[in-house]
Structure 1
């Protein structure tokens, strides 16, 4: 730590304390419950999700997961700041945890909570895992209209309803789209 002057060290310490205070203020917010402690119904203020469109619930779920990810990132940053402040007290601040070389002051000015030199910074990759559903989904056919789907050879073509209809539905002859349907077998929309 001898590569840092007292003024530089005090500047970095002040930066860490200021950022720590800001993060603690973010998490305190008047001692409100954390996002993770609330149910979706409570966090949206709705008495029931029954009357909401599924897309509204999807949007709320997305927003909630985004907020949780941001909070997790900020908690990790707060932990890194606490470790950096502890290192200042232990007189081990400013050296790389891997190679033990001095971290340049310019890097510490930008990332005062870092414990690594540029060469040994752990990779922080964003997971590129795709949903498992994509493995079984067929790619959308090219072109437009009913013929593009029939020619695609995939199950999700225009005749999918006919394929499913043979297993039955909840229609009865009285409720059929065809007027005066005599029995269940005549409810099919198949023109054949």
Structure 2
């Protein structure tokens, strides 16, 4: 038997209804902006992506994938809220669906849609959510960076630039910040 009082149950139901309303508002405002587009071209409204800098397309792709991930997470939360409201109606709310023990009121206050006590909360295995690229990546060789530390003070990449720049750079007297530069050496 559930140990929640009528006032506690009413408070939690109000919190769930408010949460459901907020989630519905989120999805309605997303639809006002336009339904999720099928392609990047549709989502940006561009006729062609060729006239855009590749970084712009990368930004659009990142923003779109982030929005889709947020919507996916909120959709799962919306389903859990509705399931919790159904459990309130059928009288099983506040009881762990795994072990049958009462879920403490404090936990329900923090996560009103939870169906699990702390001990039976399903753990997400993050190793399954890793990027596919990690399957083909190789580890850096052991001791990476040791050679650079051992050769500190010797000729390195920065020294290479200095050695090459003695022969001139793309900076010309015409693009110098100083006025009336007549020689490449004065430009530096």
Give the structure-1-normalised TM-score: 0.67
Contact 2:12 2:108 in 1 (8 A): yes
- Structure 2: where are the runs of 5+ without partners? 149-155, 161-188
User: Does the alignment pair 1:132 with 2:144?
Assistant: no
Aligned-pair distance for 1:59?
1.5
Aligned-pair distance for 1:34?
2.9
User: Does the alignment pair 1:61 with 2:61?
Assistant: yes
Distance in 2, matches of 1:45 and 1:29, equals 19
The residue that corresponds to 2:20 in the other structure is: 20
The residue that corresponds to 1:145 in the other structure is: 157
- Structure 1: where are the runs of 5+ without partners? 149-192
The residue that corresponds to 1:47 in the other structure is: 47
The residue that corresponds to 2:86 in the other structure is: 86
Aligned-pair distance for 1:38?
3.8
Aligned-pair distance for 1:130?
4.0
Aligned pairs, number: 147
Distance in 1, matches of 2:92 and 2:137, equals 53
Distance in 1, matches of 2:38 and 2:25, equals 20
Q: CA RMSD in A?
A: 2.8
Compared with structure 1, are the counterparts of its residues 53 and 13 closer, same or farther at alpha carbon in structure 2 (3 Å cutoff)?
same
Compared with structure 1, are the counterparts of its residues 70 and 125 closer, same or farther at alpha carbon in structure 2 (3 Å cutoff)?
farther
Compared with structure 1, are the counterparts of its residues 15 and 92 closer, same or farther at alpha carbon in structure 2 (3 Å cutoff)?
same
Distance in 2, matches of 1:58 and 1:30, equals 22
Compared with structure 1, are the counterparts of its residues 94 and 44 closer, same or farther at alpha carbon in structure 2 (3 Å cutoff)?
same
Contact 2:2 2:95 in 1 (8 A): no
Give the structure-2-normalised TM-score: 0.68
Distance in 1, matches of 2:135 and 2:2, equals 54
How do residues 1-192 of structure 1 correspond to structure 2 at under 5 angstroms?
2-29=2-29, 31-32=31-32, 33-35=34-36, 37-126=37-126, 127=128, 129-132=130-133, 135-136=136-137, 139=140, 142=145, 143=148, 144-145=156-157
Provide the secondary structure at the position in 2 that maps to 1:52: coil
Q: Which has the higher contact order (CA 8 A, sep 6+)?
A: 2
Aligned-pair distance for 1:137?
5.8
